[in-house]
Amino acid sequence: MNKIDKILDLQEQGFTRQEIAKELGYKRLDSMTRYLKKQGYILVDNKYVLDANTKSNTNIANTGTNTTSNTLEVIDVNTVANTQTNTIEQFVKVLDNKIVELLRSDYDILKEMIDRFKKNMEVHNSSNITIDLIDDRHLKQYPKAVRVNEFVWEDWTKFCVEHNKFSKKELISMALKEYMEKHK
Q: What is the pLDDT of residue 149?
A: 93
Q: Which of 58, 48, 64, 52 is nearest to 5 (CA)?
A: 48
Between CA 157 and CA 152 the distance in angstroms is 9
Question: β-strand 47-50 against 41-44: which pairing, if any?
Answer: antiparallel
Q: For the chain, which ranges sit under pLDDT 70?
A: 1, 52-86, 120-130, 133
Q: What is the pLDDT of residue 122?
A: 63
Three-class secondary structure of residue 177 per DSSP = helix
Domain ranges of the chain: 3-50, 86-126, 128-183
End-to-end CA distance of the chain: 56
Give 37-86 pLDDT, tens digit per residue.
Answer: 888 888 887 788 887 665 443 444 444 444 444 444 555 555 544 554 55
Q: What is the pLDDT of residue 34?
A: 85
Between CA 165 and CA 41 the distance in angstroms is 50
Q: What is the pLDDT of residue 79?
A: 52
Q: What is the pLDDT of residue 151?
A: 92
Q: Is 76 left (phi over 0), alpha (psi -120 to 50) or beta?
A: beta
Between CA 9 and CA 7 the distance in angstroms is 5
What are the contacts of 28-35 at 24+ separation with CB within 8 A?
32/7, 35/3
